[in-house]
């Protein structure tokens, strides 16, 4: 799978409360569409797939929410791409492709989310590296 393009079409960040009691952070990725994209001005032996996604980080109970919607464009071997499109007819995604796709979406979206979390004074949704003094262990 080769990444040909990635863009956000919607970003929404809301903070509803300052109460951090019993805070739970949940993430969710939803794929809303997968379709074949016809190459415009360039030729390729591979098939281009356009994927629409939603990535949500929920801070519960009712503390905050970060939402991303966007598009991913990938280039795949024709055999693999046709299998993905066939499975998508039943709204299913082959596990191997799903793993790569979700990792890509999480990597790109998490970088943006960390920036918004800093700006909005929200707890980070993923742990960041922390240095420890070896003398205090």
Provide the pLDDT confidence category of residue 130 given band limits of 50, 70 and 90: confident
Quick: pLDDT tens for 50-73: 999 999 999 999 999 999 999 999
Give the per-residue pLDDT at 42.
67
pTM above 0.85, yes or no: yes
* Tokens 């990597």 sit on residue: 107
Q: pLDDT value at position 121?
A: 92
Per-residue b or e along 85-100, where b marks 16 or more CB atoms closer than 10 Å to that residue's CB: eeebeeeebeeebeee
* Inter-CA distances, 13 with 76, 80, 98, 119, 135, Å: 33, 36, 26, 10, 40
Give the model confidence (pLDDT) of 2-59 as tens digits.
999 999 999 999 999 888 889 999 999 999 999 999 877 667 788 999 999 999 999 9
């Amino acid at each position: 799978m080769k990444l040909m393009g990635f863009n956000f079409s919607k970003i929404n960040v809301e903070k509803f409360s300052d109460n951090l009691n019993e805070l739970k952070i949940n993430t969710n990725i939803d794929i809303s569409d997968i379709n074949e994209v016809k190459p415009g001005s360039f030729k390729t032996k591979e098939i281009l797939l356009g994927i629409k996604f939603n990535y949500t980080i929920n801070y519960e109970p009712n503390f905050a929410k970060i939402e991303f919607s966007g598009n991913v464009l990938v280039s795949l071997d024709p055999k693999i791409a046709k299998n993905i499109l066939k499975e998508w007819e039943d709204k299913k995604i082959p596990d191997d492709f799903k793993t790569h796709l979700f990792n890509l979406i999480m990597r790109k979206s998490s970088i943006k989310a960390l920036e918004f979390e800093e700006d909005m004074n929200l707890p980070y949704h993923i742990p960041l590296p922390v240095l420890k003094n070896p003398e205090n262990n």
